[in-house]
Homo-oligomer: A and B are copies of this chain.
Amino acid sequence: MNLKNKITNKLQSSKLRPTKQRKKIAEFLFNREKTFHFTAEELNKIINKKDSSEKISLATIYNTIDAFKKAGHLKEILTNNNKSFYDTNVSSHHHFFDIETNELEDINYNDIKVVNLPHAPKGKKIQDVEVTLTVKKS
């Protein structure tokens, strides 16, 4: 199956209509080997580079990120920044976060062991375990 069909399939099986805009964004985000970290504004800039024939509105960028997140194709990352970062790697893993440059870098799940997890508060369940190693220039 070719890339275009794969993307269309991925969207349809998540109950997302395969519109031109979603296909373009999905192709950009999910057709890659390495994990990709971004904010909405960054994705907007990249997708709407001046040369790109048809622009996608910023609202659609936000809507699409949200739809992909709800569908489980993107994961939101915890930072102390006042904008949201997303990760194309939706499996459990960890991050370095440079507090000076706001840059993120993945850490393989198995490179850190988290032992002895406490119970979640009553009536709640643990959804995810994330380790963030904040780093700065040494």
Spell out A's residues near B (CB within 8 Å): 76-80, 82-84, 96-99, 105, 107, 111-118, 120-121, 123-138
Beyond A112-B114, A114-B131, A130-B132, 11 additional pairs, beta carbon < 8 A: A78-B79, A80-B84, A96-B124, A112-B115, A115-B115, A118-B133, A124-B136, A124-B137, A127-B135, A127-B136, A128-B134
B138→A133 contact, CB < 8 A = no
List of B residues within 8 angstroms of A112 by Cβ: 114-118
* Choice from B114, B125, B131 contacting A138 with Cβ under 8 Å: B125
* Choice from B121, B127, B134 contacting A105 with Cβ under 8 Å: B121
Oligomer: number of copies = 2
* Choice from B97, B113, B127 contacting A99 with Cβ under 8 Å: B127
B135→A125 contact, CB < 8 A = yes
B113→A115 contact, CB < 8 A = yes
A134 to B111 Cα, complex, angstroms: 20
